[in-house]
Amino acid sequence: MAETRLHPAELILPMFVREGIREPRPIESMPGVVQHTLDSLKAGAAEAAEAGIGGVMLFGVPERRDAIGSGATDPDGILNAGTRAVAAEVGDALVVQTDLCLDEFTDHGHCGVLDARGRVDNDATLLRYRDMALAQAEAGSQILGLSGMMDGQVAAVRDALDTEGLVDTAILAYAAKYASSFYGPFREAVDSQLQGDRRSYQQDPANRREGLREATLDLEEGADILMVKPAMSYLDVLADVAAVSDIPVWAYQISGEYAMIEAAAANGWIDRDRAVLESLTSIRRAGADAVLTYWAVEVAGWLK
């Protein structure tokens, strides 16, 4: 009688690859999740492919950062090197995806370049995103995850890809991304240098209709997939977007959502496995066609 079911192919695993480490480094606030070396990244991706999940989303953690995030467009930078390695390892078995944002690569931790007054410069950032898109596509990324929430980012990247003939590279637009407190553990995962917050370009958690408006803009600019992030605290926004979208809608079960369930389960306060499945089912029930989750491989094993 169940109206909503889970399938491994609907799950996508976020993975972190860090420059300059010799063995995987555990992320304290996210038990079971690590920053990978290039070798362990390939092994983890192979395990994900064997589990039958839909894809992996790669994030890079560089050793050096600067004001414009130069490492993001360096062909030999950690994210692009990791993408090539994973694409060669499992590119025919699952969809290799990359995070297209500058926050991991800037010394100030913001998702874009800053102007003389220290504010994020939207249009200057779009130029960097265009270059990032080309670098990631050429490294083997099949879907670019535009997570920076800059106005016009989808149109800018679409134009860059089309101009270079990279018409088979899809755009995943983080269309409704909120300035959430639940990103906390992710800051550790990417060794974020952020001071302050991102409320000038991410959305106000109080705004529901704005989420739908942002998604509609990305539809018009040529996105292939829409994303709502976070997931569990924004199921109403997810349902709104899914109701009007004629392209796939995904959701990101973020680090704080993962950490809360793991922490409560570790204290014996909830049934971990049931809570994990219930959380994912609720996201699918609200309208997500696929879910980015750190439990992707583990849950795929349960479903099999």
- Indicate whether 170 belongs to any domain: yes
What are 13-58's pLDDT values in tens digits?
A: 999 999 999 999 999 999 999 999 999 999 999 999 999 999 999 9
Separation between Cα atoms, residue 49 and residue 264, nearest integer Å: 29
What is the number of residues in the chain?
A: 304
pLDDT band at 199 (very low <50, low <70, confident <90, very high): low
Separation between Cα atoms, residue 205 and residue 178, nearest integer Å: 6
Q: Nearest to residue 49, comparing CAs of 6, 15, 4, 100?
A: 15
- Indicate whether 231 belongs to any domain: yes
Average pLDDT over residues 237-244: 97
Torsion of CA 216, 59, 255, 44, to 10 degrees: 120
Average pLDDT over residues 112-130: 92
- Indicate whether 2 belongs to any domain: no
Separation between Cα atoms, residue 59 and residue 49, nearest integer Å: 18
Average pLDDT over residues 122-127: 95
- Indicate whether 75 belongs to any domain: yes
- Indicate whether 1 belongs to any domain: no
For residue 183, which amino acid is it?
A: Y
pTM across the whole model: 0.95
pLDDT band at 202 (very low <50, low <70, confident <90, very high): confident
- Asked whether the beta carbons of 294 and 280 are under 8 A apart, the reply is no
Torsion of CA 33, 39, 41, 46, to 10 degrees: -110
Handedness of CA 189, 193, 195, 198 (dihedral sign): negative
What CATH number did the domain enclosing 252 receive?
3.20.20.70
pLDDT at 289: 98
Expressed as residue numbers, the domain containing 242 is 8-303
- Residue ranges in 222-254 assigned as alpha helix (H): 235-244
- Indicate whether 160 belongs to any domain: yes
Average pLDDT over residues 119-131: 94
Q: Nearest to residue 293, comparing CAs of 5, 4, 13, 6?
A: 13
Separation between Cα atoms, residue 30 and residue 294, nearest integer Å: 9
Looking at the structure of the chain, the number of domains it has is 1
Is residue 136 over pLDDT 70? yes
What are 47-103's pLDDT values in tens digits?
A: 999 999 999 999 999 999 999 999 999 999 999 999 999 999 999 999 999 999 998
Q: Please name every residue paired with 173 in a beta bridge, in sequence order, or none if there are none.
A: 146, 226
- Indicate whether 3 belongs to any domain: no
- Indicate whether 117 belongs to any domain: yes
What is the residue-wise DSSP string for 176-198?
EEB--GGGHHHHHHTT----S--
First to last CA, the chain: 20
Residues involved in catalysis: 177, 229
What are the CA-CA distances from residue 262 to residues 29, 33, 257, 284 (Å)?
9, 11, 9, 20
Is residue 195 over pLDDT 80? no
